Amino acid sequence: MAKQMTLSQVMKELEVHGDPKVRERYVRDGAGDNVFGVLMGKIRALAGALGQNHALGLELWATGNHEARILSCMLLDPSALTEKEARKLLEPLTLSLLVDELVGRVLVKAPVAEALQGRWMDGNKELPRRAGWKLLAGRIAAGLAKDLDVKATLVRIERELPEAPHRVKEGINYCLVWIGLHLPGYRKEAIAIGERLGRWDPRPIPKGCTSSYAPEWIAAVLALRKGEKTEARKKMEAATAKKKPAPERKKGAPKKASARKRTS
């Protein structure tokens, strides 16, 4: 049974779970000053207890608090949003993480998703453009883009990605990868386009993450589906293992006997 809580009770619950070090990281990443520093696991647990609650979700969003808005994305009812309401939620955003949460958790499932997708993809604002491409990717994955002209979309991806702002590039590339993964008939073409576009993201790959280079990303997910690892993943894990320092031996602890017998 869903837990009944008021807005003030939920905000107090979030504040209690705030961590100053996590807050520092969120602020550094662009979450603004209205943030407690609550880890995602705690937010998900609270969302599970509350269940879907559209009215409370809207109240949480209106606070402007970072964690409250993440939680809001887990409570909102996609079917209850009009196109105007959805635009009001997303278009003022300045943080790509919140854009992705709102799109992936709510708007992809909304009846107005296709209309929003077209408006945002054809617009000139950076984060709404990102949202439009992410919406299309999500609808492809969910089998909701049945009337999509995939060939024309692939042409558009190759044309628009090189000159797009970085955060839009990420959305376009995400869509390319999702076409390659969820539309097998276009996989080779998606990989070929990825190869022609090249490694457009010069940033180092964070430890434990997959390359944003579309051919490698597609290969990594396909390998994971088979329970395998790509060569790139094996090399990355080997390099990480080499960097790990050997565990320190406690003072006074006896040395372990060698497995190899000493020859005289």
Residue 69 lies in a domain: yes
| Whole-number percent of the chain with pLDDT over 70 | 86
Flag whether pLDDT at 152 surpasses 60.
yes
> 33 lies in which domain range?
1-76
Kindly report, residue by residue over 209-243, the tens digit of the pLDDT.
889 999 999 999 999 998 876 665 566 566 656 65
The token pair at 75 is: 């409570």
Distance between CA 130 and CA 102 in Å, rounded? Answer: 12
Q: Are 90 and 128 in contact (CB under 8 A)?
A: yes
Angle of helix 7-16 relative to helix 66-75, nearest 10 degrees? 120
Residue 180 lies in a domain: no
Residue 2 lies in a domain: yes
Task: Indicate the number of domains in the chain.
Answer: 1
Distance between CA 174 and CA 168 in Å, rounded? Answer: 10
Residue 1 lies in a domain: yes
Mean pLDDT of 189-207: 94
Flag whether pLDDT at 97 surpasses 50.
yes
pLDDT band at 206 (very low <50, low <70, confident <90, very high): confident
Q: Are 37 and 19 in contact (CB under 8 A)?
A: yes
Residue 261, pLDDT score:
38
Selection from 191, 193, 122, 188 nearest residue 158 by Cα: 193
Distance between CA 9 and CA 161 in Å, rounded? Answer: 44
H or E element in which residue 216 lies: helix 214-225
Residue 22 lies in a domain: yes
Flag whether pLDDT at 249 surpasses 60.
no
Residue 15 lies in a domain: yes
Residue 130 lies in a domain: no
pLDDT band at 158 (very low <50, low <70, confident <90, very high): very high
Flag whether pLDDT at 115 surpasses 90.
yes
Flag whether pLDDT at 12 surpasses 80.
yes
